[in-house]
Structure 1
Amino acid sequence: MAEWLYEAGIGEARAILVSRGDIWKARIEVAGEVPRIGGIHRARLTEITGPRTAKVALDGGGDALLEPFPAGTTQGAALTVRIVREGIIERGKLRLPKAVPGEGAPQPGPDLLARITATGLPVRLCRAHEADAFEEAGWSEVLDEAVSGDIAFPGGWLRMAVTPAMTLFDVDGAPPHGPLSIAAAHAVARAIERHGIGGSIGIDFPTLANKAERQAVADAIDAALPQPFERTAMNGFGFLQVVRRRERASLPEAIAADRAGYEARALLRRIERIPPPPPASHIVPEAIARRLARQPDWLAELARRTGGEARFETRQENR
């Protein structure tokens, strides 16, 4: 039976959907007061950027893109908006959250725990003093996929690459290419779901000999990937494009947006799981030490959970 596993980590929440011993979905939500999907916010229109688009300043802090904005609304006007896409960092640049006109009292959008609870599937809360159920299910392997882009499947492998325009999957493996491409279609569909990938997705299959083989691969995508989505037919060069609703950053995008922060939070997870008493000092790369120095709240929470303060030092190179 499928169930969600959830960890309230230091600096981030983590959740995986596990079924038959495999991870079908993996999600990380970094802590912070950011506009989440479904949130209702008071806002002020600060700039009209197009015939139907405007930039608004949210009362809680930060900006959002409003589309469409109500007819007759002028710069400086107060209004209520609802968030429909969260902010996404692409190559160091923030793509602002997207909003539509809303109504009702201000309220935050549901967090990760609320979203997985709303699926109706069982949710198991996992704690640091327990056996590591995340690792038993393959957590590190999924994170390695997100960081490296390398995804193996029976008979071949995928190379996943995230770009501002789309997420790309390149299929490799030994012939015959027809069966390889059908297996790859199922592997890509699972990877899209596992990593929460939305927006434009390009898949570069091996060139197939005839239309029937290309249609069989397209049919495999249709069968394996949950709706809603749109796709093109596979062209003669083996390329097929899928478009899904993009509501928030995928797992690879979330990691790439703050790699030092991701590695620092992963380190805190490992330290939190060390049987007491934990070491008082830790040697870490300089980038992680700097990142932790900027997050005294993370260190305070680590001290609360482990019962002692931790020091983070960088190794001095011999000269």
Structure 2
Amino acid sequence: MPEIWRDDAPGERRAALVENGNIVEIHMQRDTLWALGETGTGRIDRKTPSGAYVIADDNSELLLRSRISDPEGMRVTFEVTREAIAEPGRVKPAEIALRDSGVLPSLEKDALWDARLTAFAQSVISASIADGFDIALSGQSQLGSVIISFQRTKAGLVFDVDGIGSAFDINQVAAAEIARLLRLYQVGAMVMIDFVSMEAKAQRTQIAEIFDAASVVDGRPFERTAINGYGLMQVVRARPRPSVLDHLFGTRIAALSDETQAYWLLRAVAQSSGFGARTVTTRPEVATLLQSDGWATWRAQAVRLAGADMQVVADEKATGYGHVHVAQS
């Protein structure tokens, strides 16, 4: 039976759908961002020819993609229809639809997250899913002699396939693995796959069909092109939420975002053992984020879970994304 492994920490909720002991999907939600289906209030900041920008009560900017007659400055009630998504070089704001405040139920992050998990499996246990991020962090999956590399771009996620042996054999392995990775990391929007080129159209058709068959278990509808003579195939899915890759890297291409580094340091504090105070040493940019007013709630949660005080030290020479030291008491 499928089950959910839940691995929450201050400010960052994450969980994995597990089948036969294998992680097949990873889901994430960060509490500093508006969640899909969440409701709130704000004011119309500025109108555009096709909609408006709304400033929510937490001062975040949201995008309304429908024309309205309401004037700028008017207060409105909204529901999030697409979460904010970070892409290389930019962040696309969350999109909303206006709702009647008199009939709209109040939907908050806790309830939305619980409903999201129970929709996949009734059995939910607490367990670490850290191993599920290994391929995402490396940007590469290797199966025998077949190497599948991937990278985020402004246009979408790009896969490159390489290996030793016949192009058809390499592509068979790659097609199934790429379908698995797209499900694992919940990748939406545009995906470009650069298979090893094959001259025979029949072989290209077979590889596309292998991808289709491997994608059946995903459940998310998609459209794709045929594989052309150069080995290129395009896949498109809806993207109502950021993928795991979007969460991890933010506006960067292949380096963890400052937000991810801050979340993971708070996670380390919350999961640390010992009685002494925790000292978090990290780069100045991450230290500033951790000490900001907007992160006060998550700092307090980490301190409560650790059962000890926490201080943040900025160090330009900090390696990786920093470390947590537990004082000897």
TM-score range, shorter chain: 0.7 to 0.9
Conserved? CA contact 1:7–1:13, under 8 Å: yes
Are positions 1:259 and 2:252 aligned together?
A: no
Aligned residue identity for 2:176: H
Task: Report the equivalent of 1:268.
Answer: 266
Distance 2:147 2:226 in 1: 22
* Change beyond 3 A, Cα 1:172–1:282: same
Give the distance between the partners of 1:120 and 1:185, measured in 2 at CA. Answer: 27
| Structure 2 residue runs without a partner (length 5+) | 251-255, 318-329
| C-alpha spacing 1:185/1:40, structure 2 compared with 1 (3 Å) | same
Deviates more, 1:86-95 or 1:17-26: 86-95
Give the equivalent residue in structure 1 for 2:86: 89
CA change 1:60–1:305 in 2 (3 A) is: closer
How big is each residue's C-alpha offset from its partner over 1:180-237, in whole Å with a ceiling of 9 and x where there is no partner?
A: 1121111111111111110011111000120011001111121111341100011110
RMSD: 2.7
| Equivalent-residue separation in structure 2 for 1:235 and 1:45 (angstroms) | 47
Match of 1:205 in 2: 195
Moved over 6 A (4+): none
Structure 2 length normalisation: TM-score?
Answer: 0.81
Which moves more between the two structures, 94-103 or 227-236?
A: 94-103
Distance 2:87 2:225 in 1: 25
Partner of 1:130: none
2:1 maps to 1:11 = no
User: What does residue 292 of structure 1 align with?
Assistant: 290
- The question of whether the paired residues in 2 share the 8 Å contact of 1:36 and 1:108 is answered with no
Q: Which residue of 1 aligns with 2:152?
A: 162
Query: 1:240 corresponds to which residue?
Result: 233
Output one character per residue of 1:57-93: Cα deviation in whole Å (capped at 9) or x when no partner.
Answer: 44564332223335x5565566554322111122353
Equivalent position of 1:117 in the other structure: 118
Which letter does structure 2 place at the counterpart of 1:276? G
Structure 2 distance, partners of 1:287, 1:62, is 21
Q: AA paired with 1:203?
A: I
* Distance change in 2, residues 1:78/1:11 (3 Å): closer
Shift of 1:156: 1.1
Q: Percent identity?
A: 28
- CA-to-aligned-CA distance 1:124-173 (integer Å, 9 cap, x gap): 1x2xxxxxx325xxx23x32322331122344121111112111111111
Q: Does 1:24 align with 2:24?
A: yes
Give distance in 2, aligned partners of 1:42 and 1:216.
Answer: 51
- TM-score by length of structure 1 reads 0.83
Q: Deviations over 1:12-51 (max 9, x none)?
A: 111111112221111222222x33222344454444433x
Structure-2 separation of matches of 1:41 and 1:289:
30
The 3-state SS of whatever aligns with 1:134 is coil
The aligned residue for residue 170 of structure 2 is: 180
Distance 1:87 1:316 in 2: 30
Contact 1:16 1:134 in 2 (8 A): no
Question: What is the total number of aligned residue pairs between the two structures?
Answer: 303
- Give me the whole-angstrom Cα distance separating, in 1, the residues matched to 2:174 and 2:15: 26
More deviation, 54-63/233-242: 54-63
Structure 2 counterparts to residues 58-69 of structure 1, below 5 A: 58=56, 61-69=59-67
Matching residue of 1:249: 242
Amino acid of the residue matched to residue 27 of structure 1?
Answer: H
- Checking the alignment, whether the CA contact within 8 Å between 2:150 and 2:157 is kept in structure 1 is yes
Amino acid at match of 1:96: P
- The offset of 1:94, in angstroms, is 2.3
Distance (Å, rounded) in 2 between the aligned partners of 1:316 and 1:229: 44
Which 10-residue stretch deviates more, 293-302 or 221-230? 293-302
Matched residues in 2 for 1:314 and 1:56: separation? 35
Quote the residue 1:134 is aligned against. Answer: 128
Range with greater deviation from structure 2 (298-307 or 16-25) = 298-307
